[in-house]
Structure 1
Amino acid sequence: MAGPSKSLVLDPAYQKYYEINSNRYKYFRWTPRHAWLSVIYMGVIPGILTYIAYNTEGKYELRGKRKGDTICEW
């Protein structure tokens, strides 16, 4: 018969990891490293990707090209 086992033993390391992960917000502290990483991930990286997107908008046309045609439009 399939079903839950009565002799199931949970791994204490997994239980500890689950508890720490579910209560992570209680132990978070802003440090200079956290602030710097937040600025990088929320400001610098999206800014760089936006700059690249605006500079290459409409420049490449990948649909309807044949062998030997260039993908650059200008």
Structure 2
Amino acid sequence: MAGTLHPDKELQRFNTARENLGQYFRFKPRSAFFNIIAMGAIPVGLVILGYNYEGKISMRDIFRKEPVLNKEYVPRDKDL
């Protein structure tokens, strides 16, 4: 039964590349720049954007085209 299993060549190639990553990747100023941009500037920019627009844009109004209830909701006594 085990003789019918064949190893996946692409998976073996990926594992070999992963083991030899240090031979191909060097931490240089250019890679440091891209890491700072990807892990620092983009998240910080999104946080600043989120805090500036907090509560000013109603996502419900953007995506909802019709009201959930067609008539005015009156809560029951046990809901209060």
Instruction: State TM-score, norm by structure 1.
Output: 0.58
**Identity between Structure 1 and Structure 2 (%):** 33
2:12 corresponding residue in structure 1: 15
CA RMSD of aligned residues (A): 2.9
User: What displacement does 1:63 show?
Assistant: 4.6
CA change 1:8–1:52 in 2 (3 A) is same
1:58 corresponding residue in structure 2: 55
Greater Rg by CA: 2
CA change 1:13–1:60 in 2 (3 A) is closer
* Between structures 1 and 2, the one with greater helix share: 2
2:29 corresponding residue in structure 1: 32
* Unaligned residue ranges in structure 2 (runs of 5+): 67-80
Instruction: State TM-score, norm by structure 2.
Output: 0.55
User: What displacement does 1:41 show?
Assistant: 0.7
Indicate the structure whose relative CO is greater, using CA pairs within 8 Å and at least 6 residues apart.
1
Secondary structure of 2:4's counterpart equals: coil
Query: How many residues align structurally?
Result: 63
